[in-house]
Structure formats: structure tokens, C-alpha cells
A = this chain, B = another copy of it.
Amino acid sequence: MASGGEPALGPSMGMARKLAAILSADVAEYSRLMGEDEEETIRTVTVYREVIATFVQQHRGRVVDSPGDNLLAEFASVMDAVQCAVAIQRELNTRNTALPLQRRMQFRLGINLGDVIPDGERIYGDGVNIAARLESLAEAGGICISGTVYDQIATKLALRYEFLGERAVKNITKPVRVYRVHTESGPPAAASE
């Protein structure tokens, strides 16, 4: 917990903070899947979690933790985080086509950009909570990003974005701008769409 040479302010020891792109993921309808077939669900979530971890690594990210059907990852670059998320959804979408409809497992992904407080392998902070909130707003198989992420990538990544409005986040004063990222392959649509 070195404070980078800066003097401590007040009673705070000045925990180190760093900017990170945070990816939060969870399985849509996980309870239903487990309720219908526990063992098959465990097999699928294990394989899909490994797929996600591989993509995170390939995009220079780090899986922070992955309890149950959740996964939290951090990236030093917003571009990497978003491209990783799109790659994950496309790959899982392809894998799902091999499964019966009722057995398909879709992840919801949320990406935020913000200060985090690293503590060993863990990360803390508003930025993490906002990523989890964005994830909960995503559709099954979908991606939601915050306005701060959108501002960084919109002109750089040829994807379709849709503004979903501002949403409140528990204990965060300012509402968060939310965008949906469309993950279909193919040419990006015109701005009017």
C-alpha cells in the first residue's frame, strides 16, 4: 500500500489508486439452469468461464475473481476491455448454437472505466460497483458500457452503440450514462440507426 511518495492526507494512509477498465460478468437465468440440470450447468459454466478467462488473458486483462456464476476482470486499456467483451459474446454465441435451446448459457457483460483501489489480488471502489450495475442492465448475451467507456471508444471501434439513458447506482450520487453495444458481426450501421 505504498502511497507513491505523496504525503498522506489527513487520517487516510493514501491507498494507491489506479485507473482501470473493469469487466463484470454473470450468467443470465443461472438459477433456472441449475434448477433444471445441476451437473450439466456446472459443466457448461466451467467451460465458458475458461473461455472467458482465455479471452481476458489474450486481451492483456486479468481475472480478479470468479465466484459461482460471476466473473470480474480488469484491463489497463478500455479498447482491450471492449474488444474482449465482444469476442467473448461472439464465441459463446457460437458455442451455444451447439446446445439445446433450454441448455444455452448466456452471459451479461458490463464494462466501466474508473479508479479502483487495488489490495493484493483484489480491487475495490465505485468503479467496480458501477460495472456490476451495468452488467445487470445488459441483456442475456449482451454488453452494457458506461458513458465514460463510450466516450473513449465510440470513434475508434466500429460497433453499433445504443444510448439507454441515465441510470441510478446505489450509493453513487450521479446517475450513470448507459450504452448498449451490439455484438453482431458485419458492417457497422449508419449513425441514424
Interface residues of A (CB under 8 A from B): 12-13, 15, 31-32, 34-35, 38-39, 42, 46, 65, 67-68, 70, 72, 117, 119, 122, 124-126, 128-129, 170-172
> Smallest CB–CB gap between A125 and chain B, Å?
6
Known: A72-B67, A119-B46. A171 touches B39 (CB 8 A): no
Known: A31-B171, A129-B31. A117 touches B13 (CB 8 A): no
Known: A34-B171, A46-B119, A170-B31. A39 touches B12 (CB 8 A): yes
A-B contact pairs, 21 of them (CB 8 A): A12-B39, A15-B39, A31-B170, A31-B171, A34-B124, A34-B126, A34-B129, A34-B171, A35-B172, A38-B125, A39-B117, A42-B117, A42-B119, A42-B124, A46-B119, A65-B67, A67-B67, A67-B72, A68-B122, A68-B124, A68-B128
- Give the dominant DSSP class at A's interface: mixed
A67: contacting residue among B31, B70, B126, B172, CB under 8 A: B70
Chain B residues in 8 Å Cβ range of A42? 15, 117, 119, 124
A35: contacting residue among B31, B39, B68, B171, CB under 8 A: B171
> Smallest CB–CB gap between A126 and chain B, Å?
8
Known: A42-B15, A117-B42. A171 touches B67 (CB 8 A): no
Closest 9 CB pairs of A and B: A35-B171, A31-B171, A65-B67, A67-B67, A15-B39, A31-B170, A42-B124, A12-B39, A42-B119
